[in-house]
Amino acid sequence: MSPTPRKPSSRPKAPATTAKRRPIAAPARQTRPADASTRAEKTLDWLLRPLPPHLREKAHAYLVLTRMDRPVGALLLLWPTWWALWLAAKDFPPVGPLFIFTIGVFAMRAAGCAINDYADRKLDPQVARTAGRPIASGRVTPREALIVFASLLVLSFVLVLFTNKLTILLSFAGAALAAIYPFTKRYTHLPQVVLGAAFGWSIPMAFAAVTNHVPPQAWLLFIGNIIWSVIYDTEYAMVDRDDDIKVGAKSTAILFGDADLAIIGILMGTFLVTMLLVGTRAALGWPYWIALLAAAGLFAWQQWIMRGRAREACLTAFRNNNWLGLALWVGIVIALAL
C-alpha cells in the first residue's frame, strides 16, 4: 500500500527578508580614573560641601590635581619614611620629626603630582586613564599647577627648617628629584628609578633629622626603597603600556616587554634580600621576620594575579604594595618595642 501523499501547506510562506542587526553600542567611556578611590572621593565631596558651588568645583580640581582622591601613592611614600624614623630612633621616634615628616610626605607627594601633571599636560589627553585629569580636561591651567607646586614646595621647606642643618641641606636634593622625575619619562626608560630616589629621599633625611648623620643602614634602606618603587611603579606602568607606546612615553614596563613579570620577580627577590640585610644590621627580632615573610607572600600573590597582564590585575597588584609597606612597618615597630 502506497503512502498517502501530504497535501501542500496552505499557509503562505513568509517572504525571505534580511534581518538587520542592531549595532552594538560602544561602552561609555569611563571618565573616572581607574586608580581613583571611591571612598576618598566621597570624603572630599563631604569636606567641600560647605563651599559655594563655584569654589567647590575649583577646590575639588586642585585636590584631584594633588591626588588627594588617590591616597595610595602617598602611603607608598609614607611607609618607607616611617621605616626610617623608627629605625633611626631605635624606638618610637621623637614627636617633632614624626609630625614634620608625616605632613611633609603628603605635601611633597602632592607637589610631585602637580608638577607631574604639568609635565604631562600634552600626553595626558591622549591616554584613556589620564584624560580626565584636571589640566588635561581644562579644569586647572598649567600656570595654576605651577603655583600649587611652588606653594607646596615652600610649605615642605618651612617644615624642614624646624629640623637640623644636615636635613635642610639634604632637602634641596629631594626637591630637585621631585621636580625632574616627571620629565624623565621622555628621555629614559627608567623613570621608575628616579621616582624611587625621589620617594626614598625622605629616608636619609629622616635619619639625619633624628641622629644628625646618615649611617650606611640608611643608604641600604634607600636602595631597597628604590627597588621596591621600580616594582610597584612598573606594575602601575603596565596599565598604561599600550597608550604610552602610542604617545612616545617611556617606562620600565615598556623596557621589560614580555620579560616584565620575570624581571619584576627578580626585583622582588632582591628587595626581600635587601630588607633582610636591613633587619640584620638593625638586630630586629622575630616580628620583623614574620613581616618580611608576609611581604614575600604578598609579592607571590601579586605575581599570580598579574599572570595574564590584565590592566585591572596590574592596578590591583600596585595597590597591594600599600599593605606590604604597612606590614613591614608593623614588623619594625613591634620588633623594636620588644
Amino acid occupying residue 44: L
In the chain, where the domains are located: 71-337
Element (H, E) at 99: helix 95-119
pLDDT digits (tens, 9 = 90+) for 12-44: 444 444 444 433 333 333 344 545 556 677 777
Q: pTM for this structure?
A: 0.85
Question: CA separation (Å) from 223 to 129, 229, 271?
Answer: 30, 10, 9
d(CA 323, CA 237): 19
Which phi and psi (to 5°) does residue 37 adopt?
-100, 120
Would residue 137 be called left, alpha or beta, if left means φ above 0 and alpha means ψ between -120 and 50 degrees? alpha
Closest listed residue to residue 124, CA positions, set 137, 112, 107: 137
Closest listed residue to residue 231, CA positions, set 110, 76, 101: 76
**What is the reported pLDDT for 16?**
43
**What is the reported pLDDT for 246?**
85
pLDDT digits (tens, 9 = 90+) for 248-283: 889 999 999 999 999 999 999 999 999 999 999 999
pLDDT digits (tens, 9 = 90+) for 40-96: 777 777 777 888 887 888 888 889 899 888 889 999 999 999 999 999 999 999 999
d(CA 322, CA 254): 24
d(CA 40, CA 8): 72
CATH number for 71-337 (one of 1.10.357.140, 3.30.70.270, 3.40.50.300, 3.30.70.20): it is 1.10.357.140
pLDDT digits (tens, 9 = 90+) for 185-204: 888 999 999 999 998 999 99
